[in-house]
Amino acid sequence: MDAQKSRELIAVLLCLGSVQQAVHGATFSTDNFLVHASSVQLAKGIGLAAESFRRDLAIEWLGYELTTWPDRCTIVAHVNSRLGAQGATTFLTGNRRAWDFSMEVWGSNERVLDSVLPHEVTHTVFATHFGRRLPRWADEGACTTVEDVSERRKHDKLLVRFLKSSRSIAFHQLFAIQEYPDDILPLYSQGYSLSRFLIEQQGKRAFVKFMERGMARGDWLRAIEVQYGYSSFTELQYTWLEWVKEGSPVLAGKRYEASSDQRIAGRSSGHNSRTRQVATRNGSIALDQRSKDGGNLAVNDRPSRAPTSVVADTDGWYSRRYSELRSVPRVHAKSHTRGKPSTSPIADASVPTIRR
């Protein structure tokens, strides 16, 4: 999202003044959204911003504007400075199309506009284009790349923590995940980092082509090789880890080249038992995969330098959401056709679709 446009949209929403959490007695309609909020001014600001994000993000990712949806996407907005930033989006799919979008957003004025809303709208852009959900890591990861830097920094910090523990996810497992795992935060942080790593090298539209190729036949190894030139999950994993250890630098369209020993290690994954053990033990990965003890995935050293966007730990939405997911039953959207083809709900989130 263009920085100037983002600042202008933030100014629009901030000028609406303080809003009390609670009653959604006001509504505002646009071509594609029906917003419920505590005031007409707030509903209008969010509705216009959602339309702008829908148009601009579709062009950025897909190269074209989406046509008007047959039915408006409902947005229920909870705006209050004391609320943590989060959102949820649900929709139905069938016959290679998605419809019946519904969205709920929470947070301060600024966070709703610069992070929650663009993240959730990007989910709808992808769903409209693909007609079904993306792999979890890619859907959440790519949507997180459009958030404000303050939110993305939290994932950088969490990623380092997960890579120093057994909570990280080996790539061969990451690509196979269809539903949100109980330990959801590593999926978000790794998904965001990997998405950014690939997007940094070839751009957003190439990332969409990669998704199209992988989703067409489910052959992600072939898709990785054709689009990005990596011969295996392990080679991609090794190269990505080297990038993370270097601080996840901006690549600006250039291919990232790992050190020669890492390239050799990555390409030997299919035949070298030590490499295979490092990549798959406990289904996790670590920052230092070159430990003399091939079976020990714990990290004893720090990365060569911290990610470029590391911030202090906060007891924010991430830890709260993790606790909530551990204590509530999974929820699936109910299927209702309203004259449309009968289909199973996308359950585009087991919670349903959640943000971050």
Give the Cα separation of 53 and 239 in Å (integer).
33
The DSSP code for 345 is B
Higher pLDDT, 190 or 312: 190
Do the bridges between strand 33-37 and strand 86-94 make them parallel or antiparallel, or are there none, so unpaired?
A: unpaired
pLDDT of residue 315: 32
Question: What is the SS3 string spanning 292-319?
Answer: CCCCCCCCCCCCCCCCCCCCCCCCCHHH
What's the pLDDT band for 318 if we cut at 50, 70, 90?
Answer: very low
pLDDT of residue 267: 54
Q: Which two tokens stand for residue 67?
A: 């046509």
For range 251-255, the mean pLDDT? 91
For the ranges 5-14, 77-86, 125-134, the lowest mean pLDDT is seen at: 5-14
Q: How many CB atoms lie within 10 A of CB 240?
A: 23
Q: How many CB atoms lie within 10 A of CB 200?
A: 20
Backbone region of residue 258 per phi and psi (left: phi > 0; alpha: psi in -120 to 50; beta: other values): beta
State the average pLDDT for the chain. 77
Give the Cα separation of 78 and 37 in Å (integer).
7
Domain ranges of the chain: 3-132+328-354, 142-283
CATH fold of 3-132+328-354, please?
A: Glutaredoxin (3.40.30)
- Quick one: which of 37, 245, 79 has its CA closest to 159? 245
For the ranges 31-35, 122-126, 325-329, 344-348, the lowest mean pLDDT is seen at: 344-348
For the ranges 53-57, 247-251, 290-294, the lowest mean pLDDT is seen at: 290-294
Give the Cα separation of 165 and 185 in Å (integer).
13
For range 77-88, the mean pLDDT? 95
Do the bridges between strand 86-94 and strand 353-354 make them parallel or antiparallel, or are there none, so unpaired?
A: antiparallel
What's the pLDDT band for 258 if we cut at 50, 70, 90?
Answer: confident
Residue 91 has pLDDT above 90, yes or no: yes
For range 278-285, the mean pLDDT? 47
Strand order in the sheet with 86-94: 26-29, 33-37, 73-79, 97-107, 86-94, 353-354
Q: Which residues, 6 or more positions from 5, have their beta carbon under 8 angstroms from its beta carbon? A: 52, 56
Using CA atoms, how far residue 323 sits from 107, 162, 270, 327, 337, in Å, is 19, 17, 38, 7, 34
Residue 182 has pLDDT above 90, yes or no: yes
Angle between helix 220-228 and 185-202 (nearest 10): 40
**DSSP sequence for 222-247:** HHHHHHH--SSHHHHHHHHHHHHHTT
pLDDT of residue 148: 96
SS3 at position 135: coil
Residue 28 has pLDDT above 80, yes or no: yes
Q: How many CB atoms lie within 10 A of CB 10?
A: 18
Percent of the chain predicted with pLDDT > 90: 63
pLDDT of residue 331: 33
pLDDT of residue 260: 55
Residue 150 amino acid letter: S
Residue 214 amino acid letter: G
Q: Pick from 171-180, 191-200, 293-302, 304-313 the range whose average pLDDT is largest.
A: 191-200
For the ranges 14-23, 220-229, 281-290, 314-323, the lowest mean pLDDT is seen at: 314-323
pLDDT of residue 299: 29
Residue 22 has pLDDT above 60, yes or no: no
pLDDT of residue 257: 87
pLDDT of residue 25: 85
Give the Cα separation of 293 and 282 in Å (integer).
15
For range 328-354, the mean pLDDT? 32
- Radius of gyration of the chain, Cα coordinates, nearest whole angstrom: 20
- Quick one: which of 334, 338, 351, 348 has its CA closest to 126? 348
Angle between helix 136-144 and 117-130 (nearest 10): 140
SS3 at position 72: coil
